[in-house]
Structure 1
Amino acid sequence: MSRRLTVEADGGSRGNPGVAGYGALVRDTETGALLAERAEPLGKASNNVAEYRGLIAGLEAAAHIDPAAVVLARMDSKLVVEQMSGRWKIKHEDMKRLALQARDVAAGIVRAGGAVRYEWIPREKNKDADLLSNVAMDGRTVHRYLEDDTEAPEAAADAPTAATTDACAPVAAMPGSPVRVVLVAQAQGEAARSAAAAVAHLLGGAPRCLLTAPSDVAVEAAAEVGSALGAEAVVDGGWGEEDDALLAAWDRVVQRGGTTVVVCAPDAVRTVLGHLLGVPAERRSRLAVAPGSLAGVEVWDGDEVSVAFTNRT
């Protein structure tokens, strides 16, 4: 007999779009026992995107607990519930993509012998998921299953000098979501302050993992960025090295997941971009990287890389 599970999901945005995050939890429908909790910051996004991401996370958590469960997904978003139930059309492309992702997860549950249905509830009956979404908007990630008491994977024992803080703890992979990295070329004075403002605007001002190379200039620039993000910079010596050590530091950032901001020398930014773009070492000096500029990289499932922008000031 299939297990009966209830998903409660929510998402929010401080500004629309603005600093966004989602929260979701799974309960045993019969006993009400809490089985799983999920929360994740989303950077700058709309509340509707956050709502859908919360639903996806909740369905995935339910499928993890029992792939063939009979799932009731409860949300206070009338839009998401009506669209997922097929009663309202989906016009926005972002919503279409997220709805398809949610339906794929639900279809997997159905194929395994379970079922999924959706129910709208008033906001006051969705307080636990709302609380988790606010935890996410504060920059914290939650990935917990209470039955087996497992947490998100911990940092590798041989990690560099970068300590594992709440903001820099490993982030559980979210199917269909990339690892995002913003590389900030270290600068001083007004250029550093402008870079900090640009990062805060890009990420919505929410705390993110913030790493810095160990040089004085990088640390000072990272302090400006940290002040804008509300995050404490963590020194990773690998970002002050060259070639193999630097690329190993890059790999650690990708393996951590989530969103990371790295403040390092312009040459370090060129090394990473050149590596990702296949630019020979002798030609990497041709990559324009101004002090205080930003480069954005997304790494998708299967290690597919997209360089979203470079030399942004």
Structure 2
Amino acid sequence: MTAASRGSGRRLVVEADGGSRGNPGVAGYGALVRDPANGRVLVELAEPLGKASNNVAEYSGLLAGLRAVLDLDPGATVRVKMDSKLVVEQMSGRWKIKHEDMRRLALEARDLCAEISDAGGSVDFEWIPREKNKDADALSNDAMDGKSVHRIVTNEAGDGSDADRESSSLPAQGDSEIASTPTSTRPLRLLLVQAPLDDAAVPRVVTAVRRLVGPGTSVVGADDDLATRMAADLAAALEVEPHTAGDWSGQAPGEGADDRVRTAYHSLTASGGTVVAVTSRRGVLSVLADVLDTPVERFWAVATAPGSLTAVWVWEDGSASVAFTNRTDHLA
């Protein structure tokens, strides 16, 4: 049986949106996955992006929706509905992509579509007017307000039982809506910054981080000279106080994961929120090893570069996922 014949036969709809107040300005995206058979929403997502353009936010919403499909059912037949004519026409291959940021995001989206296709599914795109995209638009406005949303319906029977897993609008520190979450622990959005080799890369790293995080972000890091300066510049850009400590240095004796980094990471999972952590390559890999349960003999198998970004998300139930690793386009 070929990959193309192994599709699940399930149909899913992705509705995505993004916005920027200022263009570029404070940006965020919203995305949801819906079962078209009954209209039931299966996943809702929203995430602040810091300062970015409308188009970057729109593409970010598309990427989030496609990743959610891959988590739900990679062999599904998917219809993507967006009110961005630009994204729909570019992804359908009818318009050229001239801007470098758009080209990078479109290639990433096409890679995700290819994963769905390889699993036997398919993806097509439909433009819809804004008034028919209100749910995704509302989520993107939540994101521009500094809130992060991740709601997954695991009880698809829709009987309202506790099998529905939901995390409410998050991660701004002290957000009053946190009281509505089902547990006292907030999800963690952790952005790991591998310390660059010299100061020249610091401004580009700061700019990249600001595109990915919003208000209420905390900054922690290692206490060596360069990591401390990197953390200080990030904290200044985000208007917060940095907290540096040897726990994030990744220099403890021994092979494989650094237990001090893992302990520091576990402390963050207990408090939740959005955190930027400046650490070493071993520090980044120590967190990834914890999330992925990497055996010690494969500890160094993941490539990461100085100045790169890696993102880890941890939900209230303790489950964690790696959103991306070794992002380095900002260094080019």
User: What is the match of residue 72 of structure 1?
Assistant: 79
Matches within 5 A, 1:87-102: 87-102=94-109
TM-superposed CA distance for 1:22, in Å, is: 1.0
User: What is the match of residue 38 of structure 2?
Assistant: 31
User: What is the match of residue 260 of structure 1?
Assistant: 275
Opposite residue 214 of structure 2, the aligned amino acid is A
Write out per-residue CA displacement over residues 58-113 of structure 1, whole angstroms, 9 at most, x where no aligned residue: 11212322222111100010100000011100111111111111111112222222
User: What is the match of residue 171 of structure 1?
Assistant: 189
TM-superposed CA distance for 1:133, in Å, is: 1.2
- Structure 1: how far apart are the matches of 2:33 and 2:235? 34
User: What is the match of residue 68 of structure 2?
Assistant: 61
User: Which residues of structure 2 form unaligned runs of 5+?
Assistant: 1-7, 156-163, 168-183, 196-205, 222-230, 284-305, 312-321
Q: 1:59 to 1:212 in 2, by over 3 A?
A: closer
Rg (Cα) greater in structure: 1
Aligned to 2:117, the other structure's residue is in SS state helix
Aligned to 1:128, the other structure's residue is in SS state helix
User: What is the match of residue 24 of structure 2?
Assistant: 17
The reply to whether residue 209 of structure 1 matches residue 217 of structure 2 is yes
Tell me, yes or no, if the aligned pair for 1:181 and 1:260 is still in contact at 8 Å. Answer: no
Tell me, yes or no, if the aligned pair for 2:210 and 2:237 is still in contact at 8 Å. Answer: no
User: What is the match of residue 310 of structure 2?
Assistant: 299
Opposite residue 66 of structure 2, the aligned amino acid is L
The reply to whether residue 138 of structure 1 matches residue 145 of structure 2 is yes
Tell me, yes or no, if the aligned pair for 2:18 and 2:57 is still in contact at 8 Å. Answer: yes
Q: 1:106 to 1:259 in 2, by over 3 A?
A: same
Tell me, yes or no, if the aligned pair for 2:29 and 2:48 is still in contact at 8 Å. Answer: yes
Aligned to 2:188, the other structure's residue is in SS state coil
Aligned to 2:15, the other structure's residue is in SS state strand
Write out per-residue CA displacement over residues 257-296 of structure 1, whole angstroms, 9 at most, x where no aligned residue: 996346xxxxxx8xx46977xxxxxxxxxxxxxxxxxx97
Opposite residue 89 of structure 1, the aligned amino acid is K
- Structure 1: how far apart are the matches of 2:250 and 2:67? 40
User: Which residues of structure 1 form unaligned runs of 5+?
Assistant: 153-163, 173-178, 184-198, 214-221, 263-268, 277-294
What is the RMSD computed on CA atoms of the aligned residues?
Answer: 4.5
Tell me, yes or no, if the aligned pair for 1:72 and 1:116 is still in contact at 8 Å. Answer: yes
Matches within 5 A, 1:151-190: 166=186, 169-171=187-189, 179-181=191-193
Aligned to 2:16, the other structure's residue is in SS state strand
Aligned to 1:139, the other structure's residue is in SS state coil
Q: 1:34 to 1:226 in 2, by over 3 A?
A: same
Q: How many residues align?
A: 241
- Structure 2: how far apart are the matches of 1:303 and 1:98? 15
1:85 is aligned, of 81, 84, 92, to: 92
Q: TM-score, normalised to structure 1's length? A: 0.60
